[in-house]
Amino acid sequence: MTLKNAVEGKVYTIRQINTEDKDLDAFLFSLGCYSGEAITVVSHLKGGCVVSIKEERYNIDGQLAEAIVI
């Protein structure tokens, strides 16, 4: 399942991130978004969702939400 289908408020563990962009992978890693880390969808938006990683909130687009497997 991906973040796009996640239930709001439930804590998930990131299983993998499916991107082929090394810069994007490095950026996500710097945010704390990597395999084994906990992530929570705070809310779903029209074009993506708001997530919480390590007590910080980030707005991510729908394409990126599809790339994060939980």
pLDDT in tens, 18-64: 988 899 888 889 989 999 999 999 999 888 899 999 999 999 998 89
The DSSP line for 4-56 is GGPPTT-EEE--EE----HHHHHHHHHHT-STT-EEEEEEEETTEEEEEETTE
pTM over 0.85: yes
- Distance between CA atoms of residues 23 and 42, nearest Å: 25
- Position 12 pLDDT exceeds 90: yes
pLDDT at 68: 94
Amino acid at 1: M
pLDDT at 46: 87
pLDDT at 70: 95
